[in-house]
Amino acid sequence: MSTFESSVKQIPYAQQLVFDTVSDLSNIDRVKDRMPEGKIQDLTYDHDSVSVDVPPVGTISMRIVDRENPKTVKYETTNSPVPFNLWVQLLPTGENSCKMKLTVKAELNPFIKGMVSKPLQEAVEKIADMLAVIPYGG
């Protein structure tokens, strides 16, 4: 099992507000405009799942499999060239702030690992960066 972790991101919003947002995938509406143009196609989502076509990787579909309010949201792939799990971990740092870390765990054979480790680490960091700057206040 290969593990990829983002750096810890400070978020200037309360832990519960951030949890409520990341634990409901219909909130993707708030961040669609921040997604890289041309890199994502056919985005569909609802409360518990999301599916997106990422050229040249293919279609990646995920669903939420666990919510530990207000600390953790765990997602797993339902369709992906490389099956993986993604955890969003949140810890309070004050009444109106928290810190966040993303962790991805994937089953990668040595050949695939050599090809995807760097892009996967970069993707985890970019997703964390995006989640750290979105407006969580209503």
How far is 51 from 61, CA to CA, in rounded Å? 4
Domains assigned to the chain = 2-133 (3.30.530.20)
pTM above 0.85, yes or no: yes
* Banded model confidence at residue 36, pLDDT cuts 50, 70, 90: low
Give strand pairing partners of 85: 76, 105
pLDDT at residue 21, as a whole number? 92
pLDDT in tens, 42-78: 888 999 999 988 777 788 899 999 999 999 999 999 9
The mean pLDDT value for 72-90 works out to 94
Q: Is the dihedral of CA 102, 103, 108, 111 positive or negative?
A: positive
pLDDT confidence of residue 84: 92
Residue 18 pLDDT greater than 60, yes or no? yes
> Is the pLDDT reported for residue 39 higher than 70?
no
**pLDDT value at residue 14:** 96
Q: Closest Cα partner for 105 from 89, 94, 129?
A: 89
How many Å apart are CA 81 and CA 6, to the nearest integer?
21
